[in-house]
Amino acid sequence: MEASISVVAGELVSRFISFLMNKYHSSLSHAQSEEKLVERLQNLLMRVSMIVEEADARYITNTGMLLQLKTLSEAMYKGYRVLDTLSYRNLQGSPGIDEVSINDPSSSSLYLSIPVKRSRTKAEKDEKAMRLESDGALKSLEIVVANMAEFVVLLGGCEHMSRRPYDVYLYTKNFMFSRHAEKQKLLSFLLEHKNPPGDHAPAVLPIIGGFGVGKKTLVAHVCGDERVRSRFSILHLNGDRLLTILDHGRTMSGTMLVVIEFASDVGDDDWKKFHLFLNRMRGGSKIIIISKLKRLARFGSVKPIFLGVLSYDELRYLFKTLAFSSADPAEHPRLVQLADEFAKELHSKQGSLVAINTFAYVLRMNLSVQFWRCLFDKGVRYVKRNLSIHGVHPSMLIEQGHPVDITDFALHPLTMTSNVPIKEESPSVTLVELLADPSVTPEGDFRLIAWESRIPPHKSFVHFVTSRAQDTHEGSSALPGRKRRGVPI
């Protein structure tokens, strides 16, 4: 009997050891396969990013090349997202890689939590989904790389853009990011487009897009090009005062580029008067219309450029690059995860470039998990509060000029309003200062500078903020079921 038991036990131990060995070799094989995948992605991304950067520094007029450039950039940003997911997933469990322990209760968050344990089924599903996505990203990159031989050859025949050191500084600090095809179309309109014989009226290009998608940034970046500056005298106009140029009888000499920003529609008769007045300009003059109103596309003499919001992969790449700046993301893998959550929240709410720049600027001032989570939670509560009060997302309220409750970013109830007269003597605070330290808010009403562009025409987004320190009822009813509080938790 004992001999039988010993044989059975020996067989079970042998099978168990064999199972463990197979498991080990399987995991080792998987790790090696994933390592090769990461290496392959890195190599392909290096090649693609090199081509995209080179294409961005040349004048491209070929429509097919612009379409291929768009495909290249889309595959590149998706590849970077998948590469980050693979890289920082492996770093997540490494001890000492971040300054806060995963099990530290002080770093817990309602919206962002890293589960210590997951069910085996959930882990397997996540693993399978990740493999499929990484394989898809790798395949997309391999396809575009295999098909870009002709693109590279043709690119060699495109003229180089000349950049001064200051232009490069503006490019890197202000992130005239993505929009490769749109930038080339705008350059082609300004430098290559010619009217039909006998038509001397200035050509008109409408640039249409939603709030904060980068319309003015695109135009400002192209207007900084040396060939554009040398060809045109550039005039910026406010569409609300379009006909004042007629009242003053302004004379314009030389080849002009007139950039008009419209916040509201303009009548056809007023536009005809304005356009007729500009007919006296030298041949080759151009007009660019900037607006969020699709109706204004009717004034274009060429096909409009429609700017949509950045894709999630593009927005995520931009936000992560801005938020970490010169810091190495590999040293802060949990912040990379938090950056993903910020990007998802901003993208799901049609996040503007103003919001992306503002939040990223504040975050890179303090690379700690607690600070990033605190700011993220404030942003989530800010959205929930305004949805509860107004039933509309705050970004829509801001765009339409309605009051927005910003109590969650301060130490007492505040209401922010756009498109209202603001006294110059009113104290001012930047949104960056407010997000970094809520105690900077002045007593009483003040001006809040949401963002100021660093490139001409240095557009500022200024709002008027009204203190409601005595309005405890509204502060307590903003979020049903929550206790009244003076300081956001």
Together in a domain, 118 and 80: yes
Together in a domain, 285 and 147: no
Q: Scan for tokens 């025409």, then name that residue.
A: 457
From 262, 282, 307, the end of a domain falls on: 307
Higher pLDDT, 210 or 374: 374
Interval 92-113 mean pLDDT: 40
Together in a domain, 433 and 334: yes
Which amino acid does the sequence have at 411? L
Together in a domain, 327 and 432: yes
Together in a domain, 252 and 339: no
Question: pLDDT digits over 135-166, tens only?
Answer: 777 777 888 888 888 888 888 888 888 655 44
pLDDT of residue 300: 92
Q: 75, 48 in Cβ contact below 8 A?
A: yes
Query: Residue 334 pLDDT more than 70?
Result: yes
Together in a domain, 23 and 114: yes
Q: What's the CATH number where 231 sits?
A: 3.40.50.300
Q: 191, 88 in Cβ contact below 8 A?
A: no
pLDDT of residue 208: 95
Q: 288, 257 in Cβ contact below 8 A?
A: yes
Does 174 fall in a domain? no
From 307, 336, 354, the end of a domain falls on: 307
pLDDT of residue 478: 39
- Residue 456 pLDDT class (50, 70, 90 cuts): low
Query: Residue 314 pLDDT more than 80?
Result: yes
Interval 178-186 mean pLDDT: 86
Higher pLDDT, 14 or 227: 227
Interval 353-369 mean pLDDT: 89
Bridge partners (DSSP) of residue 158 are: none
Together in a domain, 332 and 465: yes
Together in a domain, 196 and 80: no
Together in a domain, 473 and 342: yes
pLDDT of residue 454: 63
Does 229 fall in a domain? yes
Percent of the chain scoring above 70 in pLDDT: 70
Does 56 fall in a domain? yes
Interval 195-221 mean pLDDT: 83
Together in a domain, 108 and 224: no
From 282, 307, 332, the end of a domain falls on: 307
pLDDT of residue 285: 87
Question: pLDDT digits over 34-54, tens only?
Answer: 778 788 888 888 888 888 888
Does 163 fall in a domain? no
Domain housing 199: 180-307
The torsion angle over the Cα atoms of residues 359, 362, 363 and 366, rounded to 10 degrees, is -170
End-to-end CA separation in angstroms for the chain: 69
Bridge partners (DSSP) of residue 288 are: 205, 259
pLDDT of residue 422: 65
Together in a domain, 328 and 397: yes
Interval 81-99 mean pLDDT: 62
Give the separation between CA 409 and CA 375, rounded to whole angstroms: 9
What lies within 8 Å, CB to CB, of 299 at 6+ separation is 204, 206, 271, 275, 289
Give the up-direction half-sphere exposure of residue 27: CA atoms within 13 A in the CB hemisphere.
Answer: 5
Together in a domain, 302 and 334: no
| Tokens matching residue 17 | 């050891």
Does 168 fall in a domain? no
Does 488 fall in a domain? no
- The total domain count for the chain is 3
Q: CA angle 48-217-278, nearest 5°? A: 125
Query: Residue 178 pLDDT more than 50?
Result: yes
DSSP H or E stretch at residue 291: strand 286-291
Does 161 fall in a domain? no
- Residue 6 pLDDT class (50, 70, 90 cuts): low
Higher pLDDT, 298 or 423: 298
Query: Residue 5 pLDDT more than 60?
Result: no
Which DSSP string do the residues of 79-121 spell out, in sequence order? HHHHHHHHHHHHHTT-TTSSSS-TT-GGG--SS----S---HH
